[in-house]
């Protein structure tokens, strides 16, 4: 999708969201963490202000976040049961049903074998 298409979809989304928002309920001045001035933004990592390049002038530039892989689970017994995508916009994590069923069958068999040993 082109940049124009993305922007158009974003604006459509914002307009739809605006329909359900009561503006009187929002006040940026009441938020203690709100950064409002140039001095508040100076020194922040990946934030540049007053950038003058040939033929252009940008008052603020914020670098894009780099996509990174999700953290790995340290317990291998659990990690084989969860399916996740490296794509941040991809499918939400879910349970690997086949691996879960297999693990459940093995656990039930072990439980039955242990019960047989007790009798």
CA distance 82 to 57: 47
pLDDT at residue 95, rounded to an integer = 92
* Residue 101 lies inside a defined structural domain of this protein: yes
* Residue 93 lies inside a defined structural domain of this protein: yes
pLDDT at residue 19, rounded to an integer = 72
pLDDT at residue 13, rounded to an integer = 83
pLDDT at residue 29, rounded to an integer = 64
pLDDT at residue 36, rounded to an integer = 66
Domain span at 91: 81-118
- The domain total for the chain is 1
* Residue 95 lies inside a defined structural domain of this protein: yes
* Residue 48 lies inside a defined structural domain of this protein: no
Query: In the structure encoding, which two tokens stand for residue 82, read together?
Result: 């969860």
* Residue 107 lies inside a defined structural domain of this protein: yes
pLDDT at residue 114, rounded to an integer = 80
pLDDT at residue 101, rounded to an integer = 94
Alpha helices in the chain (DSSP H): 3-19, 38-41, 76-79, 97-118
For each of the chain's 119 residues, which pLDDT tens digit applies?
A: 677 788 888 888 887 777 777 666 666 666 677 666 777 777 788 888 888 888 888 888 888 877 777 778 888 888 888 888 888 778 888 999 999 999 999 999 988 888 777 76
For 4, phi then psi, to 5°, come to: -65, -40
pLDDT at residue 51, rounded to an integer = 83
* Residue 86 lies inside a defined structural domain of this protein: yes
- CB burial string 56-94: b at 16+ within 10 A, e below: eeeeeeeeeeeeeeeeeeeeeeeeebeeeeeeeeeeeee
* Residue 98 lies inside a defined structural domain of this protein: yes
* Residue 27 lies inside a defined structural domain of this protein: no
CA distance 30 to 12: 29
Instruction: Find residue 112's DSSP bridge partners.
Output: none
């Amino acid at each position: 999708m082109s940049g124009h298409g993305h922007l158009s979809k974003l604006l459509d989304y914002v307009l739809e969201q605006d329909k359900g928002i009561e503006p009187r309920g929002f006040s940026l001045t009441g938020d203690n963490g709100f950064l409002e001035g140039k001095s508040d933004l100076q020194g922040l990592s990946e934030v540049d202000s007053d950038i003058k390049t040939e033929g252009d002038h940008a008052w603020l530039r914020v670098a894009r976040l780099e996509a990174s892989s999700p953290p790995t689970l340290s317990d291998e017994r659990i990690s084989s049961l969860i399916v996740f995508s490296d794509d941040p916009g991809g499918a939400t994590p879910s349970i690997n049903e086949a691996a879960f069923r297999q693990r459940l069958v093995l656990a039930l068999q072990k439980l039955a074998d242990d019960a047989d040993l007790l009798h």
